[in-house]
Chains A and B, each alone.
Chain A
Amino acid sequence: MKLRHILAASLAISAMITAPVLTPASADQNKIGFVYVGPVADFGYNMSMDLGRIYLEEQIEGIETSSFENIPESAEVEQVMERLVQSGHGIIFATSYGYLDYAISLGKKYPDVTFLHAGGLKTSENVGTYWADSDDGMYLAGVVAGSKSESGKLGFVGAFQIPQLFRSINAFTLGAQSVNPDATVTVVWTGGWWEPQKEAEAVNAFADEGIDVIAEQVDSPITIAQTAEKRGVFVIGKDVNIMDRAPAAWLTGVSWNWGPMMKQMVDEIHAGTWESSHVRSDLAGGAAVFDPFGEAVAEATQTKVLALKDDIISGSKNIWEGPILSQDGTEVAAAGVALDMDAVETMDFLVKGVVGSTN
């Protein structure tokens, strides 16, 4: 190749840059994009979000949705979301925790586009967040687990040491300790949302140690539930109800129903009344769902837990009411005092009885 050719090639390239064939479409609020961190068919978190997308398509006329799966929580997601913006999408659901900073920085660049982030703790003018607190459900699941466990030793498989996870683990532990004050919860961190191999190893290690009920918060309960089924230990599900995949191991679980919440936000955006905020729901709101009991749960436990669930929904029971002690024995909430919303959302400690580190 001669210098002449190189010059010609670089000229051609610069011509391409300066003469765009397509102009970016303007933001169309009927085009809604979804970005997922894992595969849609994960029988877990991403599937729960995609069920929300399908609900939107069924419920709102005239919209068109697109989705990207397997997008890592790196600058890659910024590029994917920008691709959605460039092709005219006016609403983008950024459904994974690590997408938040990228949504905020893109939001500054494209003020006409609305970004809706799942579970974030920051907002900006056009970036709002939505989440359903599964803490209440995890507390109830903890009561079921604490009643079922013979060893009093429970396990928890978690992805990252972030507030969402600390909340789940603490709620689960407090629930278990409400029926068995000596119950302990051993946590294993996998360092990733989708690490089936590590998840299976963790369940096996738990079972070898005599831990007989395992809860989890990773992308999908499927690996953990099926491994637990094989090992003859019990499992608490999360994100999607997969009771039929592990019928003997299944105790209960906490799953999502994002559809109505997503629809409300999209309706507000279409009506022009949407304002950036932290939209939150819970068991009472209906976006978090307490799953049906498995066969292994005793009748008495079921009755008790359902009564407790009614108390939580009616507001007469607050699961974050003290006394709550952190791992090293420091009092986080005194008896009769409940943690406020802010303290819960930025939770950075594990309660006494949890075996595992916060960093």
Chain B
Amino acid sequence: MSRSAFTTGLVTALAFAVLILVFFALLGKPPFVMVSNLVIYAVGDTYSISQTFAKTTPILLCALAAAVPGRLGLISVGAEGQLYAGAIAGTGAVLLAPALPAVLLVPFMLASAALGGAAYGCVPGLLRARLQINETITTLVLNYVSVLLVNALVFGPWKDPESQGWPATAFFPQEAILPSLPGTRIHLGLLLAIVFAIGLHAFFTRGPSSQKIRILAGNRKVGEMFGLNFGFWVVAMMSLGGAIAGIAGIAEVSAIQGRLQPNISLGYGLTGFLVAWLSRHQPLVIVPVAFLVGGLVAASDALQLFAKVPASSAVILQGLLFATALAVPGLMKQMRLGFGR
């Protein structure tokens, strides 16, 4: 890590700390007690750590899903929709073959979720590659479609007849539940996410295609002069990102909810997108950043408990984090340029 990056990180952290202290003071709460409570409720005991990892997992996967097309210079905000698409495809697999033993059912479920997410990412990829339609807009609007598709399914054909009108599928059989550490919500999805992060790091820095992607991201025209196919890589990266978000979706459904229903994601797609940008699309940086944000999300859940403040305070804290993390580096760059003049 270069010295200036370290300084930037430090100043960002300080600025965020000052802002949340001010925020708590404005609420009329003892600011230092509140901040230490946040830390305790993020990593202070086994349960808090389990909660932090439970929130980290989908955020990490969605961040990777946004980072993959990001390496090619694409701005995809579609992780949320791809997450839901993966949840649908994975649930479809479970409904199709509920009697399979776990060793077959879990891989089948994960694979079809990945395919579902990939297909959902592939569409805006194709539109961009063939018709030059902006992928940011298409991924954004497609998010709504798959969220509503889940509603259509669980209010309609997939509704558990025994749920007394409640919109959800039946609970998954035990064989379709991702394994987790006993007594916690730390599940196989976290391990997969870390493996993906390491694999993507290798792929983007050392893999045989890493150079091609870097050239295309830097200057598409130059890349095409060398005979590289931009369209192919757009579709490939969008699909790969979609597949990862699809895994996030089925992991939430299987390990956390136990069934498909509305509200499976608490905005993980967008949070993941911000994490990817904060980490400059570097998979190995995304892992700790997702952990920090996951901790903040988990602890700010508990904020209502120890601080007795309204639920919206948690949203404000997360907003403050992202705003400082995006604003401070820009401001510092500006100031450095100013001094240099």
- Residues of A with Cβ closer than 8 Å to B? 1, 6, 9, 16-17, 20-24, 33, 39-40, 66-70, 72-76, 79-80, 82-84, 86-87, 97-98, 121, 160-163, 165, 191, 346, 348, 358-359
Query: At the interface with chain A, which of B5-13, B87-95, B300-308?
Result: B300-308
B144 lies within 8 A of chain A by Cβ: no
Shortest beta-carbon distance, B97 to chain A, in Å? 24
What CA separation (Å) do A52 and B302 show in the bound complex? 22
Taking CB atoms, residues of chain A closer than 8 Å to B302 are 83, 87
- Contact indicator B266/A84 (Cβ below 8 Å): no
- Contact indicator A191/B263 (Cβ below 8 Å): no
The contact of A66 among B40, B46, B151, B304, by CB within 8 Å, is B304
Taking CB atoms, residues of chain B closer than 8 Å to A359 are 159, 165
Taking CB atoms, residues of chain A closer than 8 Å to B311 are 39, 68-70
Contact residues of B: prevailing secondary structure: helix
Known: A72-B263, A79-B301, A80-B301. A24 touches B47 (CB 8 A): yes
Taking CB atoms, residues of chain B closer than 8 Å to A83 are 47, 51, 301-302, 305
Shortest beta-carbon distance, B271 to chain A, in Å? 15
What CA separation (Å) do A84 and B51 show in the bound complex? 13
What CA separation (Å) do A142 and B159 show in the bound complex? 32
- Contact indicator A160/B263 (Cβ below 8 Å): no
B167 lies within 8 A of chain A by Cβ: yes
B44 lies within 8 A of chain A by Cβ: yes
Known: A16-B49, A162-B166. A76 touches B308 (CB 8 A): no
Query: Which residue of chain A lies nearest to B310 when distances are taken between CB atoms in the complex?
Result: A69
Query: At the interface with chain A, which of B26-34, B74-82, B127-135, B253-261?
Result: B253-261
- Contact indicator B45/A24 (Cβ below 8 Å): yes
B43 lies within 8 A of chain A by Cβ: yes
What CA separation (Å) do A161 and B258 show in the bound complex? 22
Query: Which residue of chain B lies nearest to A79 when distances are taken between CB atoms in the complex?
Result: B51
- Contact indicator A67/B263 (Cβ below 8 Å): no
How many inter-chain residue pairs (CB < 8 Å) link A and B?
94
- Contact indicator B51/A76 (Cβ below 8 Å): no
Known: A1-B284, A83-B302. A22 touches B40 (CB 8 A): yes
B185 lies within 8 A of chain A by Cβ: yes
- Contact indicator A17/B46 (Cβ below 8 Å): yes
What CA separation (Å) do A67 and B49 show in the bound complex? 22
- Contact indicator A79/B185 (Cβ below 8 Å): yes
Taking CB atoms, residues of chain A closer than 8 Å to B40 are 21-22
- Residues of B with Cβ closer than 8 Å to A? 40, 43-49, 51, 54, 151, 155, 159, 164-167, 185, 198, 256-258, 261-264, 266, 284-285, 288, 301-302, 304-306, 308, 310-311
What CA separation (Å) do A76 and B257 show in the bound complex? 8
Given contacts A24-B45, A79-B54, 20 further A-B contacts (CB under 8 A): A1-B284, A20-B44, A20-B45, A22-B48, A24-B47, A33-B305, A40-B310, A72-B266, A75-B257, A79-B301, A82-B47, A83-B47, A86-B45, A86-B48, A87-B302, A160-B166, A162-B164, A346-B164, A348-B165, A359-B159
Taking CB atoms, residues of chain A closer than 8 Å to B159 are 359
Shortest beta-carbon distance, A21 to chain B, in Å? 5
What CA separation (Å) do A69 and B303 show in the bound complex? 11
What CA separation (Å) do A161 and B166 show in the bound complex? 7
Query: Which residue of chain A lies nearest to B314 when distances are taken between CB atoms in the complex?
Result: A70
Taking CB atoms, residues of chain B closer than 8 Å to A21 are 40, 43-45
- Contact indicator B301/A98 (Cβ below 8 Å): no
What CA separation (Å) do A331 and B152 show in the bound complex? 32
Query: Which residue of chain B lies nearest to A162 when distances are taken between CB atoms in the complex?
Result: B165
What CA separation (Å) do A17 and B183 show in the bound complex? 12
A-B contact pairs, 27 of them (CB 8 A): A9-B288, A16-B43, A17-B46, A21-B43, A21-B45, A22-B40, A24-B47, A66-B305, A66-B308, A69-B304, A72-B263, A73-B263, A74-B262, A75-B256, A75-B258, A76-B266, A79-B51, A79-B54, A79-B185, A83-B51, A83-B305, A87-B306, A98-B166, A162-B165, A165-B165, A191-B151, A348-B165
Shortest beta-carbon distance, A220 to chain B, in Å? 16
Taking CB atoms, residues of chain A closer than 8 Å to B257 are 74-75
Taking CB atoms, residues of chain A closer than 8 Å to B308 are 66-67
Taking CB atoms, residues of chain B closer than 8 Å to A121 are 164
What CA separation (Å) do A348 and B185 show in the bound complex? 36
What CA separation (Å) do A220 and B264 show in the bound complex? 24
- Contact indicator B165/A160 (Cβ below 8 Å): yes
The contact of B46 among A6, A20, A68, A358, by CB within 8 Å, is A20
Query: Which residue of chain A lies nearest to B311 when distances are taken between CB atoms in the complex?
Result: A70
Shortest beta-carbon distance, B186 to chain A, in Å? 8
- Contact indicator B304/A76 (Cβ below 8 Å): no
Shortest beta-carbon distance, B285 to chain A, in Å? 8
What CA separation (Å) do A73 and B301 show in the bound complex? 15
Taking CB atoms, residues of chain B closer than 8 Å to A17 are 46, 49
Taking CB atoms, residues of chain B closer than 8 Å to A165 are 165
Shortest beta-carbon distance, A79 to chain B, in Å? 6
What CA separation (Å) do A209 and B235 show in the bound complex? 49
- Contact indicator B256/A68 (Cβ below 8 Å): no
Taking CB atoms, residues of chain B closer than 8 Å to A74 are 257, 261-264
- Contact indicator B166/A23 (Cβ below 8 Å): no
Taking CB atoms, residues of chain B closer than 8 Å to A161 are 165
Most buried by B among A21, A40, A359: A21
Known: A67-B304, A79-B185. A86 touches B166 (CB 8 A): no
Known: A22-B45, A23-B45, A75-B257. A191 touches B164 (CB 8 A): no
- Contact indicator B43/A163 (Cβ below 8 Å): no
Taking CB atoms, residues of chain B closer than 8 Å to A66 are 304-305, 308
Taking CB atoms, residues of chain A closer than 8 Å to B305 are 33, 66, 68, 83-84, 87
- Contact indicator A191/B49 (Cβ below 8 Å): no
What CA separation (Å) do A161 and B288 show in the bound complex? 44
